[in-house]
């Protein structure tokens, strides 16, 4: 019986050494979680005088303490700060995850999919639209694929201009208005806008002081073609119909309206042009008509030189893919050279009732087990899940100093059990030789 007791000690200590050695070997494995061998005594019988039958390893328990998060400057790297696992599919067309990991060292395959080192596909949720604010479809999984195509252009729908028109100006002596003659107008401002194919056009506003106090006439030109207030385009050399811009007695913008039309109540700061036929502007292209709002915002008429304090427009040219951004909520966003962004997907995270009961399958990966409880999916920052740190990786949670000390303890236990066998052998030889 003594041999079996000592042998159980050897077996237990050997398992402890194996577990500790595995921890030490994986001290630099990204997302690795250390384990510990847990022991219990073995009893045959229930008497208070029973000596015991040795020891047994009851479990190799995984420890899911947070590992240190290290910055990598690689945008594809992600680390989970808190609870949760990245959800992985075994192929690009997988409709649900089957593998889970804390190792966020992702890379792109030849088709643009985000994969792990062992070729598993990171899974997430598709966006509801091209706007992050519209959220993501958390009812269906998709493999994350980085779209490096061109950023789509956006036609300008509004131009906001804040200017000051000098109240000291007088009506021009040269009439009628001629955009080619600077003496026929008092001020002008030009900005770039874009059509539905991303082609740029020059939008110019010319201002002529009226004989009426606090009143100005504005002419609008697009690529030097006059734009009438009804949105139609004039022939070359023909002046367009105009807008009237008025101010109150303290120089604050009062109204903007079609010259000769009904005067609105004070406070109308913009004018809406109906759809402008862009083919009339540029016969070499066929693009969508352009509805356009000219907003004069907080423009003034003060005793100061003509100035332009703000010019903004909401159109975009065609853009090239410049990179990715990943938010702490796992929103993967593509950025383009034209300043636009487009959501690609939101990273899916998984959680379990018992992380320790997950099946280890290598590669810092786990799979669901009967003891872990059913997987619960969500996104970073919600449903008791941690947040995501982009351009970072979670290091192994192995403390080398602690493991080396434990290695010594496990070695001593092994040697002590060996000594028990040696002693038992000596006793048996003594009895046999008696």
Q: What are the pLDDT digits (tens) for 14-60? A: 888 888 889 899 999 999 999 998 878 777 766 666 666 677 788 88
What was the pLDDT predicted at 15?
82
One domain for residues 255 and 171: yes
What was the pLDDT predicted at 331?
96
DSSP string, 243-303: EEEEE-TTSBEEEEEETTSPPPPTTB-EEEEEEE-HHHH-TT-----EEEEEE-TT-EEES
What was the pLDDT predicted at 40?
82
One domain for residues 183 and 273: yes
Interior CA angle at 298 toward 295 and 303, to 5°?
A: 125
One domain for residues 289 and 406: no
Please tell me the pTM assigned to this model. Answer: 0.75
One domain for residues 134 and 40: no
- Among the candidates 258, 284, 313, a domain finishes at 313
Residues of the chain scoring pLDDT < 70: 1-4, 6, 9, 45-53, 413, 416-418, 420-425, 427-428, 434
Alpha-carbon distance of 32 to 394, in angstroms, equals 9
Asked whether 90 and 111 are in contact (CB, 8 A), the reply is no
One domain for residues 163 and 297: yes
Which residues on neighbouring strands pair with residue 394, listed in sequence order? 69
- Domain tally for the chain? 3
- Among the candidates 280, 313, 346, a domain finishes at 313
Domain that holds residue 357: 70-150+320-394
What was the pLDDT predicted at 88?
97
Helix (H) or strand (E) holding 16: helix 2-25
Backbone angles phi and psi of 142, in degrees to 5 = -145, 150
One domain for residues 116 and 248: no
Alpha-carbon distance of 296 to 163, in angstroms, equals 8
What was the pLDDT predicted at 1?
46
């Amino acid at each position: 019986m003594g041999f079996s007791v000592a042998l159980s000690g050897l077996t237990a200590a050997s398992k402890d050494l194996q577990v500790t050695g595995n921890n030490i070997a994986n001290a630099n494995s990204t997302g690795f979680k250390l384990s510990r061998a847990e022991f219990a005594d073995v009893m045959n019988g229930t008497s208070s005088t029973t000596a015991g039958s040795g020891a047994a390893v009851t479990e190799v328990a995984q420890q899911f303490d947070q590992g240190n998060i290290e910055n990598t400057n690689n945008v594809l790297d992600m680390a989970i700060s808190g609870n949760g696992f990245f959800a992985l599919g075994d192929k690009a067309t997988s409709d649900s995850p089957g593998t889970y990991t804390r190792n966020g060292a992702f890379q792109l395959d030849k088709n643009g999919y985000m994969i792990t080192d062992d070729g598993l596909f990171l899974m997430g949720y598709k966006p509801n639209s091209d706007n992050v604010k519209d959220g993501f479809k958390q009812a269906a999984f998709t493999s994350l694929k980085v779209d490096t195509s061109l950023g789509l252009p956006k036609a300008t729908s509004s131009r906001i201009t804040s200017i000051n028109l000098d109240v000291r100006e007088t009506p021009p002596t040269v009439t009628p208005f001629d955009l080619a003659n600077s003496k026929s107008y008092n001020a002008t401002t030009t900005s770039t806008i874009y059509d539905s194919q991303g082609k740029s056009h020059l939008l110019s506003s010319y201002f002529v002081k009226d004989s009426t106090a606090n009143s100005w006439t504005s002419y609008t030109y697009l690529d030097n073609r006059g734009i009438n207030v009804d949105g139609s385009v004039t022939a070359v050399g023909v002046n367009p119909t105009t807008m009237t811009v008025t101010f109150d007695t303290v120089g604050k913008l009062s109204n903007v309206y079609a010259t000769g039309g009904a005067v609105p109540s004070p406070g109308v700061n913009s004018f809406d042009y109906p759809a402008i036929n862009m083919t009339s502007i540029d016969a070499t292209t066929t693009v969508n008509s352009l509805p356009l709002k000219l907003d004069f915002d907080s423009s003034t008429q003060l005793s100061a030189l003509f100035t332009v304090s703000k010019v903004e427009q909401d159109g975009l040219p065609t853009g090239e893919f410049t990179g990715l951004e990943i938010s702490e909520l796992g929103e993967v966003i593509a950025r383009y050279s034209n300043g636009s962004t487009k959501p690609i997907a939101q990273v899916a995270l998984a959680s379990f009732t018992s992380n320790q009961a997950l099946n280890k399958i290598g590669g810092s990966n786990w799979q669901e087990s009967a003891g872990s409880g059913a997987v619960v999916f969500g996104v970073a920052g919600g449903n008791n899940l941690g947040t995501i740190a982009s351009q970072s990786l979670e290091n192994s949670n192995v403390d080398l100093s602690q493991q080396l000390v434990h290695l010594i303890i496990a070695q001593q236990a092994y040697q002590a059990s060996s000594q028990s066998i040696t002693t038992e052998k000596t006793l048996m030889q003594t009895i046999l030789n008696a």
